Amino acid sequence: MKHILKIASFVMLVATLASCAGGGQSNQSTDLKKDSLEKSVREYVYPLPSSFEVTEMLNRIEAAYILGLSNPASNVDKYFTAKSQALNLGVYSADLSYASTYNQKQETVEFMNASKKLIEKLDITAALDPQILENIEKNLENKDELVNLITNSFYDTYEYLNKNERTSVSMLVLAGSWTEALYIATHITEDTFNNREMVKIILDQKEPLVKLMAILAENTTDVDVQSVLEDLKDVHSIFMQVETGSITESQVKAIAEKIAIVREKFIS
């Protein structure tokens, strides 16, 4: 939806400017209209499908919610480095998506609190709406509004980080979120390969991974980003062997094993 709104707003902007130019209106009028329209367009678009899209697919095919599959919220106090804090902000964003998608109210609040702690440790509290926790608690019974609140918080955090020259942090958050979402998808059942819909969900993660690796590769002057890029190379290598629309049982198992190793490294 964010991408659709951005495209629609851009089309409106172009159409308005073209109309102004054709009608001979003043540059001042054009600039005012441009400024007004640009307020509704995000400067930094979240580059990957959000973890909500993965967990919503799991929910739609009626995969069960597995207690203990997520990174425990209590682990938040053991992350002391900026790298571990950023990675696990991403991990908890996926866990938050998972819990809220399945209407797990207590877990939703716990993961939001854990995320807030990491945001404070990273000194990016300005990225978060100060009313977010209160609004989430008010909407625990309203899934659509809850998803909207949490998704917007993802986009706001990503945009804030990039606007404030914290690009490396935003890359680590993205990597943590994608890794946790794939970990959940590959470990939600022991019979993954025999469920066609589950297999499709895993297949659908190839393109986001390719994009994620490209984004990380553009920021390898940061040693933390470089190390995460290295961590994901084995998973990327397996996905590159996967043919379009087809994946073998051994490939599914290999992806599950490799992503578990990466995820364990991130959350330890």
Q: What is the pLDDT of residue 42?
A: 59
Q: Is residue 44 part of a domain?
A: no
Q: Is residue 24 part of a domain?
A: yes
Q: Is pLDDT at 147 greater than 90 in this prediction?
A: no
Token pair belonging to 233: 């190379």
Do 32 and 56 have their domain in common?
no
Do 67 and 193 have their domain in common?
yes
Q: Is residue 46 part of a domain?
A: no
Domain, as residue range, for 6: 2-38
Do 97 and 166 have their domain in common?
yes
Do 95 and 200 have their domain in common?
yes
Q: Tell me the one-letter amino acid at 213.
A: M
Q: Measure the CA–CA gap between 250 and 231, rounded to whole angstroms.
A: 20
15 alpha carbon, distance to own chain's centre: 32
Q: What is the pLDDT of residue 154?
A: 87
Q: Is pLDDT at 254 greater than 50 in this prediction?
A: yes
Do 192 and 115 have their domain in common?
yes
Q: What is the pLDDT of residue 57?
A: 87
Buried (b) or exposed (e) across 182-195, using 16+ Cβ within 10 A?
bbbbbebeeebbee
Q: Is residue 190 part of a domain?
A: yes
Report whether 157 contacts 205 (CB < 8 A). Answer: no
Task: For tokens 């008010």, name the residue.
Answer: 138
Mean pLDDT of 149-175: 91
Do 115 and 161 have their domain in common?
yes
Q: Is residue 34 part of a domain?
A: yes
Q: Is residue 43 part of a domain?
A: no
Do 245 and 182 have their domain in common?
yes
Q: Is residue 45 part of a domain?
A: no
> What confidence category does residue 12 fall into, taking pLDDT thresholds of 50, 70 and 90?
very low
Do 21 and 98 have their domain in common?
no
Q: What is the pLDDT of residue 18?
A: 38
Do 21 and 128 have their domain in common?
no
Residue-by-residue DSSP string for 33-61: HHHHHHTTS-SS---S--HHHHHHHHHHT
Do 34 and 55 have their domain in common?
no
Give per-residue pLDDT as tens, 216-246: 999 999 999 999 999 999 999 999 999 877 8
Q: Is pLDDT at 87 greater than 90 in this prediction?
A: yes
Domain count, the chain: 2
Do 110 and 141 have their domain in common?
yes
Q: Is residue 177 part of a domain?
A: yes
Do 14 and 138 have their domain in common?
no
DSSP state of 194: G
Nearest-CA neighbor of 152 among 172, 135, 140, 166? 135
Q: What is the pLDDT of residue 6?
A: 44
